[in-house]
């Protein structure tokens, strides 16, 4: 059946997928802070003391993100490819897998989805979602330098992009494997670097909560936003380029026909 999805359909799919990441994923971070012992998760203490103090902990947060990524890919991947991440879209643009106009529409939809999710979450949970839960915003943890945070974001996004290329771009991989594989990579990244950079790997996942905090009087973390642009974008572009070069570009030599092979063997030295 030929594809009938317009760019408008794809934009809505990207909006919904990124909405899911911020609402369910970043929302889980906010819930962890909201359910922490009194005073343990308030406002800027998130930046100073980190997470894992509430009912969810790091494993619960990782599982929330796994589902928030995997389910939209399963539901809407056939519509837009479910980039749900500006860094992924930029990487696919640079490697020639999406056009400039489409990529701009995708990125606007992704950012709108992240911001919309934050606003809806505050509407449901009240302003404590930003005053205490900081809408699950990302920031480097105590003792972590900007370089370390950028490196953590870049390395995990590199492997995330390799996973996306292998399971969502490479047409030799079964379509139904993409959601679980990509979701698991995000979850692993959260478990390994969550207490370094806050584990974003996605500019829309960071910008959505940042805008929500700005709108509702939460902490101002904008000075860190460049970390969550530079690290993920460089990591994603590198991942897409490496997978293309190592896996997709090489051309296997054609297998000679049986007669040609026999003729070659019969040639005198």
Looking at 95-202, list the stretches that DSSP marks H as alpha helix, in order from N- to C-terminal side.
Answer: 100-125, 128-131, 146-164, 178-197
Closest C-alpha to 125, from 209, 11, 2 = 209
- pLDDT class of 110 with cuts at 50, 70, 90: very high
SS3 state at 198: coil
Contacts of 68 (CB under 8 A, 6+ apart): 20, 21, 23, 24, 25, 183
User: 10 Å Cβ neighbour count for 247?
Assistant: 14
Residue 153, CA distances (Å) to 122, 131, 150, 196 in order = 27, 26, 5, 9
- pLDDT class of 226 with cuts at 50, 70, 90: very high
- Count of helix runs (H) and strand runs (E) in the chain: 12, 0
The average pLDDT across 67-72 equals 98
pLDDT at 100: 97
Domain residue ranges in the chain: 7-248
Q: Which range (33-37, 38-42, 101-105) has the least confidence?
A: 38-42
Q: Which range (43-57, 89-103, 206-220, 233-247) has the least confidence?
A: 43-57
The model carries a pTM of: 0.88
Kindly tell me if the per-residue pLDDT of 263 is higher than 70.
Answer: no
The CATH number of 7-248 is 1.20.1080.10
pLDDT at 232: 98
User: 10 Å Cβ neighbour count for 132?
Assistant: 23
């Amino acid at each position: 059946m030929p594809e009938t999805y317009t760019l408008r359909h794809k934009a809505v799919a990207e909006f919904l997928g990124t909405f899911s990441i911020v609402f369910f994923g970043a929302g889980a971070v906010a819930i962890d802070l909201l359910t922490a012992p009194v005073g343990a998760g308030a406002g800027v203490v998130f930046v100073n003391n980190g997470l894992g103090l509430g009912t969810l902990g790091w494993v619960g947060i990782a599982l929330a993100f796994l589902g928030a990524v995997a389910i939209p890919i399963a539901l809407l991947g056939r519509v837009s490819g479910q980039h749900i991440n500006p860094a992924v879209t930029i990487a696919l643009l640079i490697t020639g897998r999406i056009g400039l106009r489409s990529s701009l529409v995708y990125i606007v939809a992704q950012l709108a989805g992240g911001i919309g999710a934050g606003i809806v979450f505050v509407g449901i949970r009240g302003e404590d979602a930003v005053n205490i839960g900081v809408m699950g915003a990302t920031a480097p943890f105590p003792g972590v330098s900007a370089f370390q945070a950028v490196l953590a974001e870049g390395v995990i996004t590199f492997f995330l992009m390799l996973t996306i290329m292998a399971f969502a771009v490479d047409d030799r991989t079964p379509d139904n494997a993409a959601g679980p594989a990509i979701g698991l990579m995000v979850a692993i990244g959260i478990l390994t670097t969550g207490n370094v950079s806050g584990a974003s790997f996605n500019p829309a996942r960071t910008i959505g909560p940042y805008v929500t905090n700005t709108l509702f009087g939460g902490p101002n973390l904008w000075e860190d936003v460049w970390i969550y642009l530079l690290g993920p974008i460089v990591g994603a572009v590198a991942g897409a380029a490496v997978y293309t070069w190592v896996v997709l570009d090489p051309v296997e030599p054609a297998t000679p026909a049986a007669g040609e092979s026999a003729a070659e063997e019969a040639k005198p030295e």
